[in-house]
Amino acid sequence: MAGSYRADDADLAPIAGARILLVEARFNEAIVAMLREGALRALSRAGADVTSIVVPGALEIAPAIAIALDLAERAGAPYDGVVALGCVMRGDTYHFEIVAGESARALTDLAVSRRLALGNGVLTVDNEAQAIVRADPAQGDKGGGAALAALALVRLTRSLRGGA
């Protein structure tokens, strides 16, 4: 696949004690299940401790992350990173553009403002066939890619802080 990211050995190395929040949208559930499978496989290989939560749709992912981050911080058990999973499919109305754009904007704003190691696995596709190719762990594995992106940022954060 042109332009796809290829993980190297550093991307696949275990990351001791990483606490990862996985937030998935229930809308387009079959597609998101494939994304989750890929993400959980990548996180398991890395030895990450995963907490999963489910929200109705892509627009609810960022607020759920913010709520969970605040509560985890208050409890003294902050998350090291987050993986966001969802699927927004083009329909016959302008709604697609709003949901696709605003969910991406909210996740980016959240990641930058909170210095959050976030892997964005929210697909924005024209149809179900495209979604399957991107979500299926045997094909596009965008869920696994989102998890690897979050873990890469966790590793970066740890290295910049002087930890392993």
Domain ranges of the chain: 18-153
Is residue 35 part of the annotated active site? The answer reads no
pLDDT (0 to 100) of residue 160: 93
pLDDT (0 to 100) of residue 164: 55
pLDDT (0 to 100) of residue 6: 63
Helix (H) or strand (E) holding 140: none
CA–CA separation, 88 and 56 (whole Å): 12
Percent of the residues in the chain that have a pLDDT greater than 90, as a whole number: 84
Mean pLDDT of the chain: 93
Q: Give domain 18-153's CATH number out of 1.10.10.10, 3.40.50.720, 3.90.1150.170, 3.40.50.960.
A: 3.40.50.960
pLDDT (0 to 100) of residue 48: 97
Answer yes or no: are the C-beta atoms of 13 and 46 closer than 8 Å. Answer: yes
User: In 13-162, which residue ranges form alpha helices assigned H by DSSP?
Assistant: 29-46, 61-74, 95-113, 128-135, 142-161
Which pTM value belongs to this model? 0.92
DSSP label at 59?
A: G
User: Residue 94 pLDDT more than 50?
Assistant: yes
Reported as a pLDDT band with limits 50, 70 and 90, residue 79 is very high
Reported as a pLDDT band with limits 50, 70 and 90, residue 16 is confident
pLDDT (0 to 100) of residue 115: 96
Encode pLDDT of 139-149 as tens digits: 999 999 999 99
Mean pLDDT of 63-83: 98
Phi, psi dihedral angles at 85 (to 5 degrees): -130, 135
Answer yes or no: are the C-beta atoms of 56 and 27 closer than 8 Å. Answer: yes
User: Residue 9 pLDDT more than 90?
Assistant: no
Mean pLDDT of 109-131: 97
Mean pLDDT of 55-74: 98
Task: Give whole-number Cα distances, 16 to 20, 46, 80, 96, 116, in Å.
Answer: 12, 8, 11, 39, 18
Catalytic residue among 5, 14, 29, 95: 95
The structure tokens listed for 132 are 């399957």
